[in-house]
Structure 1
Amino acid sequence: MGKLGKLFYKMLSLLFGVLGGIVAGAVFKQVWKVVGREEDAPQATDEERTWREVLPAAALQGAIFAMVKAVVNRGGAAGFRRVTGTWPG
């Protein structure tokens, strides 16, 4: 893959990374409504919340973000290969 191809892939990766973050945030918000039975997840800096409330929310949020990131990265690489015939990396 040439320099232009690498640059193009990096630009697409950044764009899809931002979009993936937005999607992951929306997914987490909907999952939290069901799992946490409340509108918003507890914030780590909320003095009224306990560790037992904050840590599971953070773990769930991290897992969702990691999964969406993997889907976006893998899908982007596969799409790039379909278009260019070369796997980025």
Structure 2
Amino acid sequence: MRRIVAKASKPDCGSDPKKRQIIDLDAHTFKILSIADASKEINIKALIEKSLRKKTKDLEDANLYTYLAKNDPDGQVYLNSKEQIAFEKEMGL
């Protein structure tokens, strides 16, 4: 099993502080990431960080939607028939 080490670092001017974390990767996962690293000239660390940032953004969006749907009833207003037809036409439904 391979380990990727991550530690907390001090923030640069105006940026968020970074956190480091140790994660364990099984040999197969590490091998596949290493091949991707070599073939695409992308660093394993950068690949993992990019993937986690995207996942975090998706989670933030989902959490925000859940909060708004629960606490902001204006987001749950149904369309009238004219708006429904326009929406379906725009979406190709």
Q: TM-score range by the shorter chain?
A: 0.3 to 0.5
For the pair shown, the structure with the greater C-alpha radius of gyration is: 2
More helix by share: 1
More strand by share: 2
Taking CA–CA contacts closer than 8 Å with sequence separation of 6 or more, which of the two structures ends up with the larger relative contact order? 1
Taking structure 2 as the reference length, the TM-score comes to: 0.39
